[in-house]
C-alpha cells in the first residue's frame, strides 16, 4: 500500500531542532519493513497556509491509499485542515488522524473534519492493520464513522515489545537536509573559552531525539500520563546503544536528546545503558530528564562518562503541600545533594519549576524560592501550570467549569492556565513572585560625556570577548541585561546583535540612559525575541533633580524622548527608579510620568540596584519605613495606570504589601557575569558583604528568603524600625 505520513504545522515550534517527528518515524519504519511504500513530510515549521498549498504536490505523485496525520492539542486545527484537504485531493484514500489529541478526543476530531479514522493510544499495530486492509471494527484502538455516528472499536492495550520496533525511519522526513538546514552556530561552542561553569552549560543544537522508554510510574495531575495505566516499557540497553550507533553512522550526529520522561527510574537499566554508550567510539553527547530523588553520585559519574552533559530535573515546587496536591511526591531532602552531585560529576543541572498548580499560594511560592535558592542551577525554567487534555488537572478544571465549552473549537494553540483557585489577574501576580534567572552582563562601554555612574569611563570589553559572554549568558538565562556602560554608543552593537541572532539568543535588554535613542529610529535595534527591552536608571520625575544626578543638562528630557521612541517601535521599557528623600514624597507623580513616558514596568530601588550598578548616598535616602509606606500607598495608582512595579533594597518586614513584589525574593537565581566569565550569584554576593540579618530577624518567619537590611543603612539608622515591628 502507498502511505503518506504528515506532521502538521506547529504554531510554537521549539527553537532547537530535535529531528523529525519520532512517533511518525517509528510508524514509517514499521510500514516500510512490512513492505509498504511510504513517504513522509514534516511541516511543523511551516505555516498552515503554506502546508495546505504544498499538499497537492505531496499527494499528487502516486496518490497515497492511506494518509496518516499526527495531531497534538496545539496543532489540532492544522491537523484537521490537512485531513480535510487530503480527503478532497485523494477521496479514495483512507485518512487517519492519530497522536495525543485524538487519543483523548477522537469524537471531537471526527465530528470536525472528513478524516475516516482517529487512532487511540499506541498506533504501531493499529496503523499496520489499517494498511493491511482490515475492517475498522476489527482494528483495536480506532474510532470511525458508521451510520452518521462515531463509534469506537475495542480498546487496544499498550505496545509492550519495544525491541521489536525498527529504528525510526528519519530518512522519510529528509532528516539529513533538515539537520543541515536548521543547524546554527552553537552558543556552547562560542562560550567554550570561558570558565568551567560556562562550559558545563549545554546548547542543544540540531540534535536528534532518542526514546529509550515509554511511560512513568507517577501520575502528576498536570502530566498527560496522569490517566495512563500502561506499565513503564523500555528498550533493552543493547537496542539503545545500537540505535545511537545507527544515528551516528547515518546522520553523523553525536549529540542526542533522550526524551524519556524518567530516564533513571530503573537505575540498573540506566547503568547498563551508560556502560554501553561509554564504550562507543565516538562517544555520544546527550541530555536527559529525570527526578532529583532518583540519582546518586555513582550513577551521575556513570552518566557523565557515558557522555551525559545536562540533566533537566522536574522539581516543579519546593512546597510539600503543592507536591502532595499534584501527586509529584518528591523526596525534597534529596534535591540539594542531587544538584551538588550533578555539578561534581561535570553535568549541568537544569531546574524546572511550575507556578499555579493546585494548592499554589504566595506562601508556597516563597517556600519554593527559599528551597531552590541554594541549589544554584546552571539554568532555570519557570512555566505556568496549564490544563492539557487527558490530564487529571483537565478533569479538575472541567468539574470546576473553568474551561469554556467552546474552548477547543477556538483556533487557539495554547492550553488554558489553571484558574480553579485564582483568577487570571491573581495568577499573573503569583507568577511575578517567582521569576527565572536574569544575567546582568557588565560590558563596559564608557561615554563621551563622562557623567553619572552609568557613564563613568571604563575599559570596554572587546567584541570577541563580549560575544562569548553573550553566548554564555544565553545558556544560563532567559533574560540578559547588557550594561556597565552605554550599549547604544558601542560601534560594534550591530555585529553583537547579529552574533546573538545566529545563536538564537532571546530576552536581551539594554541598560541605558535612553538618551542615545532620542533622535534615532529604534526599529533596526529591535530584533524580535532577541532584543526588545531597555532598562533605564532614573532619579526623579523633575528635570532639575534628575539632571543634577546625571550631571547632564537636559538629561531627563532626552531620556523621556528616548523611552518614547523605543516604546513607539514596540519595545519594552523598564525603569530603575532610585528613591531619595525628595522623590519618595511624589511617587504618584512619578508613576504618572513613567506611564506617560512609555514605561511598562518599574523597579523602585533603595540604596542600590539589583546588579550592583550604582546607587545614591545613604545620607540622602529617607527612612526605609517611610519609603515602604509611600510605595504601598502608590500601588492602587500603579494598577490603574497598568504599570507593573516592584521594590528592591527594602526588607519584606517593612515592604509588607503582598502585591508589591520584592526583587530579592522573586529573583533568587539572578547572576552577575563579569568579563572573567565566572557567573556570580547576586543574592549570595549581597548576603556575604552588603547586607545582614539582625538579631531581631531570628524570630521572623520570612527570614529564610529575606536578605536582611543594608549594613550601611544600619550603621546610620540602627535597627529601631525593625525592633518596633517585632514588638
Query: Starting at the edge strand that comes first in sequence, how are the strands of the sheet with 208-210 ordered?
Result: 208-210, 255-258, 285-290, 308-316, 348-355, 379-384
CATH fold of 438-683: TIM Barrel (3.20.20)
Q: Report the pLDDT averaged over residues 21-45.
A: 95
Q: Report the pLDDT averaged over residues 390-407.
A: 92
Per-residue model confidence (pLDDT) at position 330: 93
Residues of the chain with pLDDT > 90: what percent? 73
Largest CA distance in the chain: 86
pLDDT 10s digits, 153-187: 999 999 999 999 999 999 999 888 887 777 766 77
pLDDT of 515 over the 90 cut: yes
Sheet strands (E) in 52-191: 66-70, 94-98, 117-119, 142-146, 149-152
Give SS3 for 14: coil
Contact 493, 517 (CB under 8 A): no
Contact 314, 275 (CB under 8 A): no
Q: Report the pLDDT averaged over residues 519-523.
A: 89
Element (H, E) at 102: helix 100-104
Contact 380, 681 (CB under 8 A): no
Q: What does the buried/exposed string (b/e) look like for 417-456 if buried means 16 or more CB atoms within 10 Å of the residue's CB?
A: bbbbbbeeeebebbbbbbbbbbbbbbbbbbbebebbebbe
233: cell is: 516499557
The model's confidence at residue 251, banded by pLDDT at 50, 70 and 90, is: confident
- Lowest mean pLDDT: which of 28-37, 220-229, 374-383? 220-229
Residues 522, 505: Cα–Cα separation, whole Å: 19
The model's confidence at residue 529, banded by pLDDT at 50, 70 and 90, is: confident
DSSP string, 392-453: HHHHHHHHTT-S-TTGGGS---SPPB--SSS-HHHHHHHHTTS---EEEEE-----SS--SG
The model's confidence at residue 453, banded by pLDDT at 50, 70 and 90, is: very low
Residues 30, 164: Cα–Cα separation, whole Å: 10
Residues 351, 314: Cα–Cα separation, whole Å: 7
347 contact partners, CB below 8 Å, separation of at least 6: 200, 300, 303, 304, 308, 309, 310, 311
What is the chain's length?
A: 727
Question: Shortest CA distance to 473 belongs to which of 486, 460, 484, 482?
Answer: 482
520: cell is: 534615532
Over 205-237, what HEC string results?
CCCEEECCEECCCCCCCCCHHHHCCCCCEECCH
- Lowest mean pLDDT: which of 66-75, 193-202, 247-256, 508-517? 193-202
The DSSP 8-state label assigned to residue 541 in this structure reads S
Three-point CA angle 673, 651, 378, nearest 5° = 30
pLDDT of 11 over the 90 cut: no
Q: What are the structural domain ranges in the chain? A: 2-162, 184-431, 438-683
pLDDT of 237 over the 90 cut: yes
Residues 118, 70: Cα–Cα separation, whole Å: 10
Q: What are phi and psi of 407, to 5 degrees?
A: -60, -45
Residues 500, 351: Cα–Cα separation, whole Å: 24
Contact 319, 332 (CB under 8 A): no
pLDDT 10s digits, 273-315: 999 999 999 999 999 999 999 999 999 999 999 999 999 999 9
pLDDT of 685 over the 50 cut: yes
Q: Report the pLDDT averaged over residues 405-428.
A: 92
Mean residue pLDDT of the chain comes to 91
Count the alpha carbons within 13 Å of 559 in the hemisphere toward its beta carbon: 29
Q: What are phi and psi of 671, to 5 degrees?
A: -135, 155
Q: Which ranges in 295-391 belong to alpha helices (H)?
A: 297-305, 320-326, 335-344, 362-372
Residues 517, 307: Cα–Cα separation, whole Å: 47
pLDDT 10s digits, 578-617: 999 999 988 999 999 999 999 999 999 999 999 988 889 9
Residues 640, 634: Cα–Cα separation, whole Å: 10
Per-residue model confidence (pLDDT) at position 451: 35
DSSP string, 603-650: EEESSS-TT------GGGSPPHHHHHHHHHHHHHHHHHHT-EEEEESS
Residues 562, 519: Cα–Cα separation, whole Å: 7
Say whether 438-683 and 2-162 share the same fold.
Answer: no
Residues 225, 390: Cα–Cα separation, whole Å: 8
The model's confidence at residue 448, banded by pLDDT at 50, 70 and 90, is: very low
Domain 184-431, CATH: 3.80.30.20
Question: Shortest CA distance to 105 belongs to which of 409, 386, 404, 397?
Answer: 409
625: cell is: 519605613
Residues 665, 658: Cα–Cα separation, whole Å: 12
Q: Which residues pair with 68 in a beta bridge?
A: 5, 96
DSSP string, 656-681: --TTS-BHHHH-TT-EEE-TT---EE
The model's confidence at residue 205, banded by pLDDT at 50, 70 and 90, is: low
Cα–chain-centroid distance for residue 604? 27
pLDDT of 74 over the 80 cut: yes
In the block, residue with C-alpha cell 483537565: 394
Question: Shortest CA distance to 593 belongs to which of 659, 554, 637, 653?
Answer: 637
Contact 587, 634 (CB under 8 A): yes
Contact 594, 645 (CB under 8 A): no
481 contact partners, CB below 8 Å, separation of at least 6: 438, 439, 440, 441, 509, 510, 511, 535, 611
Per-residue model confidence (pLDDT) at position 433: 92
pLDDT 10s digits, 94-141: 999 999 999 999 999 999 999 999 999 999 999 999 999 999 999 999
In CATH terms, the superfamily for domain 2-162 is: Cobalamin-binding domain (3.40.50.280)
Question: Shortest CA distance to 170 belongs to which of 246, 60, 72?
Answer: 246
Cα–chain-centroid distance for residue 550? 37
Residues 164, 167: Cα–Cα separation, whole Å: 10
Per-residue model confidence (pLDDT) at position 268: 97
Task: Compute the chain's Rg from CA coordinates.
Answer: 28
> 466's torsion region: left (phi>0), alpha (psi -120 to 50) or beta?
alpha
Per-residue model confidence (pLDDT) at position 452: 40
Strands 691-692 and 709-710: antiparallel
- Compute CA distances 17 → 7, 254, 313, whole Å: 14, 14, 21
pLDDT of 210 over the 90 cut: yes
pLDDT of 512 over the 90 cut: yes
Q: Report the pLDDT averaged over residues 251-261.
A: 89
Per-residue model confidence (pLDDT) at position 62: 83
52: cell is: 495546505
Three-point CA angle 177, 244, 122, nearest 5° = 85
Amino acid at each position: 500500500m502507498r502511505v503518506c505520513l504528515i506532521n502538521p504545522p506547529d504554531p510554537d515550534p521549539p527553537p532547537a531542532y530535535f529531528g523529525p517527528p519520532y512517533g511518525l518515524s517509528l510508524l514509517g519504519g514499521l510500514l516500510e519493513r512490512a513492505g509498504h511504500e511510504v513517504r513522509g513530510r514534516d511541516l511543523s515549521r511551516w505555516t498552515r497556509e503554506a502546508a495546505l498549498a504544498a499538499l497537492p504536490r505531496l499527494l499528487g505523485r502516486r496518490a497515497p491509499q492511506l494518509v496518516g496525520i499526527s495531531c497534538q492539542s496545539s496543532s489540532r486545527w492544522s491537523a484537521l485542515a490537512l485531513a480535510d484537504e487530503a480527503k478532497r485531493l485523494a477521496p479514495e484514500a483512507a485518512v487517519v488522524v492519530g497522536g495525543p489529541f485524538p487519543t483523548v478526543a477522537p469524537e471531537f476530531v471526527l465530528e470536525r473534519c472528513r478524516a475516516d479514522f482517529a487512532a487511540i493510544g499506541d498506533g504501531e499495530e493499529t496503523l499496520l492493520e489499517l494498511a493491511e486492509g482490515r475492517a475498522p471494527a476489527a482494528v483495536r484502538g480506532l474510532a470511525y464513522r458508521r451510520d452518521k455516528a462515531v463509534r469506537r472499536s475495542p480498546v487496544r492495550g499498550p505496545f509492550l515489545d519495544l525491541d521489536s520496533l525498527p529504528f525510526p525511519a528519519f530518512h522519510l522526513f529528509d532528516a539529513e537536509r533538515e539537520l543541515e538546514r536548521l543547524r546554527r552556530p552553537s552558543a556552547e561552542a562560542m562560550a567554550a573559552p570561558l570558565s568551567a561553569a560556562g562550559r558545563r552549560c549545554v546548547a542543544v543544537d540540531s540534535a536528534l531525539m532518542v526514546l529509550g522508554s515509554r511511560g512513568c510510574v507517577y501520575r502528576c495531575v498536570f502530566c498527560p500520563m496522569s490517566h495512563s495505566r500502561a506499565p513503564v516499557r523500555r528498550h533493552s540497553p543493547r537496542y539503545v546503544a545500537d540505535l545511537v550507533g545507527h544515528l551516528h553512522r547515518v546522520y553523523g550526529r553525536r549529540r542526542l536528546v533522550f526524551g524519556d520522561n524518567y530516564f533513571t527510574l530503573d537505575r540498573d537499566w540506566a547503568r547498563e545503558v551508560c556502560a554501553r554508550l561509554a564504550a562507543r567510539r565516538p562517544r555520544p553527547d546527550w541530555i536527559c530528564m529525570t527526578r532529583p530523588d532518583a540519582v546518586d553520585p555513582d550513577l551521575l559519574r556513570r552518566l557523565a562518562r557515558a557522555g551525559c552533559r545536562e540533566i533537566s530535573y522536574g522539581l516543579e515546587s519546593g512546597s510539600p503541600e503543592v507536591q502532595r496536591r499534584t501527586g509529584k511526591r518528591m523526596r525534597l531532602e534529596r534535591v540539594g545533594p542531587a544538584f551538588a552531585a550533578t555539578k561534581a560529576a561535570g553535568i549541568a543541572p537544569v531546574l524546572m519549576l511550575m507556578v499555579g498548580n493546585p494548592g499554589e499560594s504566595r506562601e508556597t511560592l516563597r517556600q519554593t524560592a527559599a528551597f531552590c535558592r541554594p541549589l544554584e542551577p546552571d539554568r532555570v525554567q519557570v512555566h505556568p501550570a496549564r490544563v492539557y487534555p487527558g490530564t487529571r488537572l483537565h478533569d479538575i478544571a472541567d468539574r470546576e467549569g473553568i474551561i469554556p465549552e467552546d474552548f477547543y473549537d477556538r483556533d487557539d494553540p495554547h492550553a488554558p492556565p489553571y484558574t480553579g483557585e485564582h483568577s487570571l489577574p491573581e495568577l499573573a501576580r503569583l507568577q511575578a513572585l517567582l521569576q527565572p534567572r536574569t544575567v546582568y552582563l557588565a560590558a563596559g562601554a564608557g561615554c563621551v560625556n563622562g557623567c553619572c555612574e552609568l557613564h563613568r569611563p571604563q575599559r570596554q570589553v572587546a567584541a570577541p570577548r563580549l560575544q562569548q559572554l553573550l553566548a554564555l549568558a544565553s545558556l544560563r538565562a532567559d533574560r540578559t541585561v547588557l550594561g556597565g556602560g552605554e550599549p547604544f554608543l558601542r560601534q560594534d552593537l550591530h555585529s553583537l546583535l547579529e552574533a546573538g541572532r545566529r545563536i538564537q539568543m532571546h530576552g536581551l535588554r539594554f541598560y541605558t540612559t535612553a538618551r542615545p535613542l532620542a533622535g534615532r529610529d529604534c526599529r533596526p535595534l529591535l530584533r524580535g525575541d532577541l532584543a526588545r527591552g531597555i532598562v533605564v536608571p532614573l532619579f526623579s520625575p523633575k528635570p532639575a533633580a534628575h539632571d543634577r544626578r546625571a550631571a547632564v543638562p537636559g538629561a531627563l528630557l532626552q531620556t523621556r524622548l528616548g523611552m518614547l521612541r523605543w516604546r513607539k517601535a514596540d519595545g519594552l521599557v523598564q525603569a530603575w527608579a532610585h528613591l531619595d528623600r525628595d522623590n519618595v514624597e511624589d511617587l504618584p507623580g512619578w508613576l504618572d510620568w513613567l506611564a506617560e513616558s512609555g514605561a511598562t514596568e518599574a523597579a523602585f530601588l533603595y540604596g542600590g540596584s539589583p546588579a550592583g550598578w550604582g546607587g545614591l548616598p545613604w545620607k540622602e535616602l529617607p527612612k526605609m519605613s517611610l519609603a515602604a509606606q509611600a510605595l504601598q500607598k502608590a500601588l492602587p495608582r500603579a494598577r490603574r495606570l497598568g504599570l507593573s512595579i516592584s521594590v528592591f533594597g527594602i526588607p519584606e518586614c517593612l515592604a509588607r504589601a503582598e502585591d508589591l513584589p520584592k526583587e530579592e525574593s522573586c529573583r533568587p537565581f539572578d547572576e552577575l557575569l563579569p568579563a572573567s566569565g565566572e557567573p556570580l550569584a547576586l543574592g549570595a554576593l549581597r548576603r556575604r558583604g552588603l547586607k545582614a540579618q539582625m538579631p531581631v530577624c531570628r524570630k521572623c518567619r520570612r527570614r529564610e528568603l529575606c536578605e536582611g537590611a543594608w549594613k550601611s543603612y544600619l550603621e546610620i539608622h540602627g535597627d529601631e524600625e525593625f525592633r518596633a515591628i517585632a514588638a
